[in-house]
Structure 1
Amino acid sequence: MTVTVDAAPRRALIRWLVFATVVLAMLMHAIDQTSVATALSAMQNDLGASLAWTGWTITIYSVGQILVLPLAGPMGDRFGARRVFLLAVAAFTVASVLCGLSSGTAQLIVFRFLQGLAGGALLPVATAIVSAEFGRDRDRAIALFSTAFPIGAILGPLAGGLILTFASWREIFFINVPVGVLLICLGRVLIRETPRTAPARVDVGGIAWLTTLLLSGMVAITRIGSFGEGWTGPASVVGAAAVALVAGRFLLRHLHRHPDPIVSPRLLTGQRLGLMNVMNVLFGAAVIGFSALLPHYAQIRYQMTPIASGGLLTVRAVFMIALSALAVGLLRRLGHRPLLLAGMAAITVSLLITGLPPVHTGPELWLSLGAAVMGFGMGLAAPSSANAGMHLVPEQAAAVSGLRVLFRQAGAIIAVSVVTAVTSAATDPAAANTAAFLVLAAVMGGAVVLAMRIPNQRGRW
């Protein structure tokens, strides 16, 4: 009897220790994703690179995440989620060391891509580990587990700003090393291996075409600023753009021919999903682009310190978390469309505030206002947009959710690549960055128009 009483608390304790280990891994990934945005100017100055190529340290990380998501789940099924989790943490830690030791922009971009691959692999296997550990309580555990991302959005910019205040940008990566070592030790001791199942077929060809499309498109955009380099500048842009067009054409043909493609053609255009996908590209360009570019903008236009510019993203994250809770409570009563429209309108206003000069106040307070309004809009729009897409095809909710992430990250890649390329080529980078936020506001306005055509749904679905 004593053994039974003692065993139950021990099982519960280990379960929550496993949960804490997984959440810590996701926090490491989330914090690294947001903290690097505060270091763009420092990396640019230290490595002597243009902003266009330095911006790749953000976009290539997103590319890595996009490409590994379809692979991580099947890998966990075949080799076990515990093994893949430990491998991903180890790879992330090693890639962090290599990022910190990089002597040039090209090296840093390659190692950030590896870091993105490792970080993207964590999410599917971490979800599988939590699900297996908590059994019938998996829904609540996964909901609680998802809070790692907004917490990372709060801590990341502050961590980046603090590190840059007292050290260099390299320490943003080196700080992952002790965390990674601790996670490997805890994971080996605490996490049990999940049951292995027959893995789903992986569309390697689709991933290869998607990789070619994303990388060649990014090269074409980045090289826009090289038109003054004689014939080689325009030739490189045209060549990369041609590769992107060919890759896009073959990717579409591949998706229609492959029995289990990386993206179902039906989910690209059917049942108003095409409308949602376009809206998600515009949403990602405006919202994720805002997050990636704001600290650098605050530093070059208003000479704000790294910790103050990073704090702007923390303001955004706090308001986003607070409004998300309100939005979840209102979804069944109002439906997703009113909340989505209100949130996207607030995001448009936020981008306008950020791009316009301060009115009767200092730049810190003015940009904080813009960040707060952005958080307000994201808090309303994020839960409602998730429901809007999944409501269209409820039987494929997981696939639609993954597609939403893909298209938003694609929009962010386009926005960050274009803005950094134009800013790098401009004679007045601050003015170019200012204009970029106003253009992003117009882009978000277009997304609001598209969102008006999405059918509303109240109550359960």
Structure 2
Amino acid sequence: MTATPRTSTAPPDADEPLPHRRIVFGIVSIALLMASIDQTIVATALTAIQHDLDAPLNWSGWTITIYALGQILVMPVAGRLGDQFGRKRIFLGAAVLFTLASLACSLVDNIYLLVVFRALQAIGGGAFMPTATGIVAEQFGRDRDRAVGMFTSIFPIGGVLGPIIGGVIVTYWSWREIFLVNVPAGLLLILLAARFIPRSTPAKAARIDLVGAALLALTILTGMYGITSLGSRDAGPLDPVFLTAEVLALVFGFLFVRHANRAASPFIPVRLLRGRGFGVMNAINLLYGAAVLGFGALFPLYAEARYGIQPLQAGTLLTARAVGMICVAGLAVFALRRTGYRAPMIGGFLLVAAGMTVMAIAPHGLTPYAWLAIAAGITGIGMGLSIPASNNASLQLAPDQISAIAGLRGMFRQSGGIIAVSVTTTLLSHSANPGIAQAHSFVVFAAVLLLIVPFTLLVPDHRGSW
């Protein structure tokens, strides 16, 4: 007998898990893994893309930058739309767009079209996280805290797998297959999602706040464009492009907050942006993204620049981090109801900071590769401990807006990562010894994580299910 899709009429805080929750979990996990892999998979193909399309280096780099920017831009938007119009509808639309854009990326004949289609691919990929988080929460009822913690731990794993998969594909096929492999996987995802994911009940019909959405988009776009210009243009903090973009971001941000305070039904409610619950978690996510995502993007470069480790070996060092994270994340998820959120977050932040500090120190009694692998494993254990708790923190305060909260969480983390990478690469480009300079940057990342600890004490703690 085949399963019959059902319409979920239960409210978001319903207690009873739904029958096909594990199938749905697997489906949305595929989507999240695809989106996160595509965030880093292109890095290994930049040289091949540049040569094949006769592209300038800065435009080749934008194939990575535009994907990150697109995800940051769409995460809070998709989360809000999912809550308002139904998560399955937005999820399916994202899957279709991601698949078609991937196909278009594999067929382009110039770098400019590739950047455009990567932007469209990012819109689809960025919409997966917030809508899928809401879908998982609906499906698992009283177990939603554990399911959300486990589900959102998938995203960092995809980021680690990306360069490895990309290296294999580029070595044995070509850069075009990096995008083409998404097409059959995307078609399967669309069919499974249409078949098994039940329709959610949209929020009470309300006129969509187009002005708020536009102001938020302009704030993010100008702010992140200015930050990325630091890295992509080898510019300094007094560069006119950077200053102009950041001034515009401040203006648009001010207008967005003023509009949200005055609108009857704002696109992003102000209470999700500030206050002891949401405001402190937004600050934590920004700083956590800067330290952890920035470190992950620059770690292989550090191994190559300071110790002369070969690129393929340097990429595999991230596997040690992934192993540490996978080993701990599952246990941390099931311990959340006893530990609450603060304890695992503080413990995880301290472990990641310790691992980064070890990386910055010269090896003692071990080969550089073994030393860095151990340090990466320590950071992975810290991430596995802290990510499930930080992903759940504040969700219990507004369970009817899970997708919107997940979208904002992703936006702040990705923004922090872009800021860290752009600023660090700018400093490295002016350094006489990039390897040592990057070691110093890891110490700074560790200090940022220590700075987060006092903020964590302000997070509303929670034990038990929500």
Provide the C-alpha distance between the structure 2 equivalents of 1:272 and 1:128, rounded to a whole number of angstroms: 19
Aligned to 2:316: 311
1:312 CA drift (Å): 2.4
TM-score by length of 1: 0.79
Give the alignment of 1:211-290 within 5 angstroms. 211-224=217-230, 234-271=239-276, 273-290=278-295
1:387 to 1:238, Cα distance in 2 relative to 1, 3 A: closer
Q: 2:127 aligns with which of 110, 121, 143?
A: 121
1:379 corresponding residue in structure 2 = 384
Contact 1:224/1:422 (<8 A) preserved: no
1:445 matched residue in structure 2: 450
**Partners of 2:273 and 2:233 in 1: CA distance:** 35
Aligned residue number for residue 438 of structure 2? 433
Describe the SS at the equivalent of 1:358: coil
Q: Which residue of 1 aligns with 2:57?
A: 49
Give me the whole-angstrom Cα distance separating, in 2, the residues matched to 1:124 and 1:272.
19
1:370 is aligned to 2:375: yes
Q: 2:178 aligns with which of 172, 184, 207?
A: 172
Give, in angstroms, the shift of residue 339 of structure 1. Answer: 1.9
User: What SS does the aligned partner of 1:357 have?
Assistant: coil
Q: Aligned Cα RMSD in Å? A: 4.1
Query: Structure 1 residues 293, 75: closer, same or farther in 2, change over 3 A?
Result: same
In structure 2, what is the equivalent of residue 152 of structure 1?
158
Number of aligned residue pairs: 449
Q: Is the aligned partner of 1:321 residue 2:326?
A: yes
Question: Are the equivalent residues in 1 in contact too, given 2:133–2:152 (CA < 8 A)?
Answer: no
Give how far 1:146 is off.
5.5
Q: Distance in 1 between matches of 2:465 and 2:135?
A: 28
Corresponding residue SS for 1:361: coil
- Which structure shows the bigger proportion of residues in helix conformation? 1
Structure 1 residues 195-228: Cα deviation after superposition (integer angstroms, max 9, x where no partner): 7756554333233222222232233234446999
Cα displacement string for residues 329-372 of structure 1 (whole angstroms, at most 9, x for unaligned residues): 44343433222211101111122233333333233222222221
Partner deviation per Cα, 1:99-146 (whole Å, 9 max, x = no partner): 4456666554433221111112234555677788x6979958877765
Letter of the structure 1 residue corresponding to residue 123 of structure 2:
L
The within-5 A match list for 1:317-396 is: 317-390=322-395, 393=397
Spell out, residue by residue over 1:51-88, the C-alpha distance to the aligned partner (whole angstroms, 9 max, x if none).
xx766544432332333334446766888766654443
Instruction: Indicate the SS of the match to 2:273.
Output: helix
> Contact between 1:71 and 1:202, CA under 8 Å: does it hold in 2?
no
CA contact (8 A) 1:161 1:310 kept: no
Task: Report the equivalent of 1:205.
Answer: 211
Contact 1:157–1:307 (8 Å) recurs in 2: no
Q: Note the residue ranges of structure 2 that are not aligned, 5 or more in a row.
A: 7-17
> Shift of the alpha carbon at 1:425?
5.1
Residue matched to 1:92: 98
Residues 202, 44 of structure 1: alpha-carbon distance in 2 compared, 3 angstrom cutoff:
farther
Higher relative contact order (CA 8 A, sep 6+): 2
Contact persistence 2:276–2:458 (CA under 8 A): no
Distance 1:329 1:184, change over 3 A: closer
Q: Which amino acid aligns with 2:370?
A: L
Deviations 1:379-422 (A, max 9, x none): 1111222344346x356672544433332222122212222333
Q: TM-score, normalised by structure 2?
A: 0.78
Report if aligned partners of 2:102, 2:179 keep a CA contact under 8 Å in 1: yes
**Higher alpha-carbon deviation: 176-185 or 441-450:** 176-185
8 Å CA contact 1:341, 1:381 repeated in 2: yes
Asked if 1:24 corresponds to 2:30, the answer is: yes
Per-residue deviation, residues 35-54 of structure 1 (Å, max 9, x unmatched)? 3455567667884425xx76
Q: 1:273 and 1:90 mapped to 2: Cα distance?
A: 32
- Structure 1 vs Structure 2: percent identity of aligned residues? 44
Query: Does structure 1 conserve the Cα–Cα contact (< 8 Å) formed by 2:348 and 2:385?
Result: yes
* Matched letter for residue 49 of structure 1: L
Distance 2:457 2:80 in 1: 37
How far did residue 151 of structure 1 move? 5.4
